[in-house]
Structure 1
Amino acid sequence: MASSYAELQRFQDHASHCKPHVLDRQSALDHLRSMAALRYDAAPWNIWGGQQLDLGRAAAEHMRGDTNSSPFVSLSEDASQLLVSPDDDDGYGAKAIAENANELHTYTVPRVTTWTAEEIVRILEDGTENDEPSLAWVSDTPTEEREVLFLGGNLDDYRTASESNPYRKSETRG
């Protein structure tokens, strides 16, 4: 039986940099309660109503780099994988974050609060067959970095370790 918790890592410049850009005061458990209430009110064949599909779309956009209106926070199953990421994005992608962040934090979060790339693709494929004629944009969701999204504004409550970034690129002085 798999653990009900996941140990994930996040590069940050400061310990406080673990909040989403929106819904930052809504805890992970608040999100779960909200989805459960919708499930209770929805028909059995529409388990999460439209909320899961909307969150799936927001999660895919987040994983593709649009984090400004996202209720998610990015973490990684293995922070060292960001060092070999093809996501360069003009020096602001996963590799740049891994090489330039000041700190590496470890969080142990309930699995039910996490969203993996595979789960996001499944949600979008299941829920969009009539909504969107082409799901080609879903395949753009990167999986190499083993990114996992946390839905909630209280990631800090789950921090279990912190250290200076062991992968930080040393600055050369001339």
Structure 2
Amino acid sequence: MAKKIAVLVGSLRKESFNRKIANELSRLSSDGFDLEIIEIGNLPLYSEDLDQSPPQEWTDFRQKIKNSDGILVVSPEYNRTIPGALKNAIDVGSRPYGSSVWPGKPGAVVTSSISSLGGLAANHHIRQAFVFIDVPLMQQPEAYIGNSSQIWNDDGTAVEETQKFLKDWMGAYEKWVNGFSKS
């Protein structure tokens, strides 16, 4: 049975480079992995006041994360940190206190930027949040994709060099997930 990987894309833009990267990772993954982008743009902002009767969007999101075998985040960097929608999704999944859906899901982070820095600060901020919510993260190889507006062929696929990097990176993530055992 294929491993179900929940993919969170930090950018809400329909044609975002991060969504394209997530789609490339899905295309380049092995048959043993089923990557599904879990939409986060429709999640109402987290407020503890709503925990008694949570919005259906929260319930659906939490169930998808709970049913996944791993977590993959593909995100841009906004103002040297993570996008608000991604932070909200992390918060929605981690609440109410004591009922987090995140613990023990092997995770990984890919960040990209139209600058040459590749979302370095966002990558580390996502990692910091995931450490707290008990998502064990793949440490190596890291994935910071710079100049993300310039890595695409006319048909929408990544250029050969980027495809090779993403395929190798995805292979490492698959190995990480397959070798992961929750203690």
Q: TM-score, normalised by structure 2?
A: 0.30
Bigger Rg over Cα: 1
